[in-house]
Chains A and B, each alone.
Chain A
Amino acid sequence: MKPPVTRAPDHAAGDRAPDPAPAPARPAGARPPGEPRRIGYLYVLPALVVYAAFLLWPLLHGAYLSLFHWDGLTVGTWAGLGNYTQAISDPHLRGTFRHAAVLVLFYAVLPCCIAFLLVAVMSRSRPRGLTFFRTVLFLPQVVAMVAVAVAWQWIYSEHGPINGTLRLVGLGGLARGWLGDFTWALPSVGLIGTWAEIGLAMVLFLAGVQKIPRELYEAARVDGAGAVREFFAVTLPGLRRELSVALTLTIIAALRNFDLIYLTTGGGPGDATRVPAYEVYNRTFNTGEVGLACAIGITIAIVVFAVTAGVGRLVEGRA
């Protein structure tokens, strides 16, 4: 089994054609297949047209709309960066970004910590049946978020399995409608994210651990390192790249959780679970603040962009 993560996409994970013998050396100057070919533009054109019309254009249009106060019906008025300053200064909207930060803990930090604990335990033995475990652990990632949300809404409900279990073990006093509780709604939604993302982090780390040379562990043991020191000296440094990929993917998942919020809590109770991704929809279709909604959408895009560029640098120490 090939490790799934490489610098470029791992086409070797499929059955790459057997590599033929290296091409014979060419005299300098002869340069097919990459020689300049104008026909390349023709090949790129169809994809570029669709991409530009239905992704780039809406993005630019959204950035433009974010500079206006507009209700979606009448004529808009110029706002400059007013919508952005509102997104930062309005206590309600600032709250949504705070909620998003809390969700990052549940979607990204917690799954990575748990996954680390697991691989620390497993780092030295190479368990059999890994394909099976990998397949099952990764499963939550492929289930439609809408179905996940509907399922968890029942699991958290008044008479759902969680409260059922609590009552069974005599903790019925703790039972409640978790998603309708001002204190518990946000952590409850967050834990759905934790459940969904643990598998992603685990599968990544599992693949990474397989690549750490066994000799490093043996050397550490010969040096008399305990399990904890071994983890910090061998496992953790060996998983830096996987950690940065896992954090990037899970943080982005925490920011793009419209489906889950819309279907489990609708931002409630009160605005206890309002997040930016939900406000984009809410401000457009419920309160008619289209410019503000676009500003929030663009802000999410900027944060996603920053996370993608920044996390790797931070974790892997790349320049």
Chain B
Amino acid sequence: MTPTTSRAERTTTYAVLIVFTVIAVFPLLAVASQAFGLPHPSTDAFTGAWRKGHFARYLTNSLIVVTVVVLAASVLSILAGYALGTMEFTGTTALFYVFLAGLMVPTEAIVVPLYFDLRSVGLDNTLPGLMLPQIAQSVSFGVFWMRAYFRSAPRSLIEASRMDGASSWTTLWRVLLPVGRPAILTMVVLIAMWTWNEFLLALVIMNSNEDLRTAPLGLSIFQGQHQTEYQMLMAAALIVAAPVVLVYVFLQRHFIAGMLSGAIKE
């Protein structure tokens, strides 16, 4: 006898799922309806926020920061993960744990010394000053992620490539990377999201240069200036959140798989 799920049970399941789905999206829908001024739809709040909040500039800054951080962190992580995942040399395990430890270092623990360090070398209020710490944080995740990928890559591929006389460099770029595109894409979307959403570092490092504010920092300043103009504030919040949400809708699998593996234990 096979007890199957009853109709009642199925209904409960869906009811529960739907209730919590509604809870998850209710604030977002409320925000959207406020921003669009329902029940009298208009996009005035968006154009107003866009202009008064200088979001064209701030989104551009964020895009530049994200692009550079993602590119630099990905290349560095691929190189280091490749070596730690496929080669044997003294200290591979130790080096891996050094990188892994970075996953556990909260921004709160480094932001203050970072502020004084960057200021002393003149990198505060500059884009590189904001990018480099984020590249470092991303590398910590990236090395962990790419090493795991390279370890799981079929050994026979590497061997065959070496038999053909390919160098380790050629093997990496010609053989392993094309196969590893899904893993790399996951890493890229996660680093892009973390970098886009980063607030504390931007707040502290871009403390006086208004032209280089990122989108989240711009939003926080905008909130300070328009305390109770909620329609425009909600529009601004949507503008800042939208890029990541859009990417998420298309690549949700990569976001979820990557973020849930954040608490890894080997």
Contacts and interface: CB of A to CB of B under 8 A. Distances in A.
B164 interface: no
B110 A59 contact: yes
Q: Which of B108, B240, B241, B249 has the most CB of A within 10 A?
A: B108
B183 A11 contact: yes
Interface residues of B, number: 121
Contacts of A262: 203, 220
Interface string A17-44: 1011101000000001111111111111
A293 B200 CA distance: 14
Contacts of A75: none
B64 interface: no
Nearest to B258: A9
B13 A122 contact: yes
A151 interface: yes
B237 interface: yes
Contact of B87 (A8, A40, A139, A207): A40
B60 interface: no
A142 B168 contact: no
Nearest to B219: A146
Contact of B223 (A122, A157, A263, A280): A263
Contact of B256 (A4, A17, A127, A153): A4
Given A50-B76, A55-B137, A41 B13 contact: no
A221 interface: yes
B83 A121 contact: no
Contacts, number: 356
Contacts of A154: 31, 34, 230, 233-234
A198 interface: yes
A54 B108 contact: no
A125 B140 contact: no
A48 to B, nearest CB: 7
Nearest to A133: B17
A51 B219 contact: no
Interface string A242-268: 001100110010011011001100000
B111 A297 contact: yes
A44 B204 CA distance: 30
A109 B89 CA distance: 43
A202 interface: yes
B260 A204 contact: yes
Interface in B123-163: 132-133, 135-137, 139-140, 142-145, 148-149, 151-152, 154-159, 162
A13 B132 contact: no
A250 to B, nearest CB: 10
Given A9-B264, A255-B106, A142 B5 contact: no
Contact of B261 (A9, A36, A296): A9
Contacts of B89: 36-38, 40-41
Nearest to B153: A17
B254 A14 contact: yes
Interface of A: 2, 4-11, 13-17, 19-21, 23, 32-44, 46-48, 50-51, 53-59, 61-62, 65, 72, 114, 118, 121-122, 124-125, 127, 131, 133-147, 150-155, 157, 160-161, 195, 198-200, 202-204, 207, 218, 221-222, 244-245, 248-249, 252, 255-256, 258-259, 262-263, 276-277, 280-281, 284-285, 290, 293-294, 296-298, 300-301, 304-305, 308, 312
Interface of B: 1-3, 5, 9-10, 12-14, 16-17, 20-21, 23-25, 27-28, 30-31, 34, 72, 76-77, 79-80, 82-84, 86-89, 92, 95, 98-99, 102, 104-117, 132-133, 135-137, 139-140, 142-145, 148-149, 151-152, 154-159, 162, 168, 179, 181-183, 185-186, 193, 196-197, 199-200, 203-204, 215-216, 219-220, 223, 228, 230, 233-234, 236-238, 240-241, 244-245, 248-249, 252-266
7 contacts: A14-B254, A41-B83, A44-B80, A122-B12, A144-B244, A203-B260, A304-B105
